Structures are given as C-alpha cells and as structure tokens.
Amino acid sequence: MTATHKPLGSLSVSPLSLGGNVFGWTADEAQSFAVLDAYVAGGGNFIDTADVYSAWVPGNKGGESETVIGNWLASRRNRSEVVIATKVGALPDLKGLAPATIKSAVDASLTRLRTDYIDLYYTHYDDESVEVGEFLTALDDLVRAGKVREIAASNISAQRLEESLACSAREGLARYVALQPHYNLVSRDTYEGELADVAARHGLAAVPYFALASGFLTGKYRPGTQVDSARSGGALKYADTDRGRRVLQALDTVAAAHEAEPASIALAWLAAQPTVAAPIASARTVEQLPALLAVGDVTLKEDELKLLDEASA
C-alpha cells in the first residue's frame, strides 16, 4: 500500500481501515494477531472496532474485538503507531447516548483496549431521545480529559448531523470530524445525497462501512455459487439483482485492466469518491489482506469510474 495517508481531524490515516468486527468472532486471537501484523506490515495504521463487537455471537457479550486488539497492542508495544477507532451506544448493557452511558462505556473500552486514549470515538447509532448538546458535552469532556482525541458519528441522519455540528460550533464543544456511513457500489443511496452533502459542506471525512457489501464485491458470491462464510447470506442477496450482476461485470472488466482483484477495484472506487478518506474492510485470514491493501496502489481512470458509476446507478 503506497498511497499517502489522509487527514482525519488531527489524525493521519492509511487508505484502508481494517475492520475489527471479525476479531473474536470468525477469527480467533492467533488469527487476529496475524492479520493485524500483516496489515501494519503492509502500511496500514487505521483499525476500526466497536464495544458491541461481537455481542451477536452466542456466548459472547461484546467487547471481544476490543480485547483482542488490546492484547495485540500490549504485546507489540506499538500503540503510538496506530489509529484506533471504536464506538459507543450499541452494547446491550450500555445502549444509547446518555452522558452516564458514554462515561461508563469509554472507560470499559479503554480497559479492554489496554490504552489510556482512543484516537477516534464514534457514536455508533444516533439516540434521538438525547439532545445533541447533552451527548456532545459528554464527548467534549472525554476530549478535554485526554481519553479521546477526535469524535465521529455513524448511522445518523443528515438533519441530526447538521444539528450536532451547529451545536459544537455554537457551544465551543468538540465537533465530529468524520462520518461512518453504509456505502458501497451496490448501496449508494445510503450515503450519496443529503448526508454526503453535509459531510462535504463541513469538511467531514467519510469512512464507509460494508465497503465490500458483506463480501459480495470480492466477486466470490455469484449466482448459483456456494461459499462457506458467516456472511454469505448478506452477500448473496445482491447476486440475483440486475444491479448486482451489472456491478460484478464492470468490476471484472476494470479488474482485468489493472490485473487486480474485484475487491481492490470496489475499494478504489470508494476511495475516489468525494469526502471518502478510507473505506473499512475486514480480513479473517492473512491471505485476504493483499486485495484490500491494494486500494492504496490502484488509481482508476475517468472512463473506469464512469463505467462503475453507470453499472451501480
């Protein structure tokens, strides 16, 4: 991965953010350490997790991913070399954005991550039962205390995002510097339009999740194929749609021209979109990483971007 890092508030992040949702779920600690080591060796520095990962797995309670990452940071002694992003608000026992919830959740995340600061702290889901000024004041307290460096939002409406940014400016509180939207070649309307306009207008960096549509954009999931993966259900729903078929065909065409994997092209398309700083993608094994890291080496031409735009429209 050779592309230059991009600014995200006061942070500087690599072109690929490594998703930590698989750590402690489909990747055990040893596999996770191997993936993290290979990601950093490949030039990556931006690791994304959440306190709720992976509470959906029977026997898990949430925090498993943060614990794995914390153990890795402690064993590698490289805390200052990586940007760690985590999220608050979705853990079953600590749901929502009440100030007391945020305060408890951040301390629990810091303990699991075995660090005294979080680089980027997201509100995982908006909580409309709490006034924006209330939760922003709580987040501002964390920044002032040195527990958090920058704050960001995920799963928020354009209206509430605008309201939050206006409140930060008016009250002199920490402001969101990034947005984590659901965005990829087969899901464009989840970000493009009003939400992307707010991000552009206020200089927010977008860090899209589901960047590969649960693996569909890797090209592994095609009509009639069987793939042994915990995420195959999410991917296969795109395989039988007209848009899904068009997008795969366009990805195959562009990938062949670059001698690259479809996943690399799908990520490169995202990276080329206005406001996008770094798409998020996860790898369960070291073998899956090269195609993801290649996003920093692939520059799409105008006609290739146009082909992908039209296929995904």
Residue (of 154, 190, 140) closest to 52 by Cα position: 154
Structure-token pair, residue 211: 């960047």
Q: Choose the catalytic residue: 53, 176, 183, 221.
A: 53
Structure-token pair, residue 189: 């309307």
Cα–Cα distance for residue pair 268/236, rounded to 1 Å:
22
Angle in degrees, CA 121, 122, 123, rounded to 5:
130
Q: Are 188 and 194 in contact (CB under 8 A)?
A: no
What is the phi/psi pair of residue 300, to 5°? -85, 140
Structure-token pair, residue 245: 């078929």
Q: Are 96 and 89 in contact (CB under 8 A)?
A: yes
Cα–Cα distance for residue pair 11/273, rounded to 1 Å:
20
The torsion of the CA quartet 253, 255, 261, 267, rounded to 10 degrees, works out to -100
Cα–Cα distance for residue pair 192/178, rounded to 1 Å:
15
Angle in degrees, CA 211, 217, 219, rounded to 5:
155
Active site residue 176: no
User: Is there a cis peptide before residue 232, judged by omega within 30 degrees of 0?
Assistant: no
Active site residues: 53
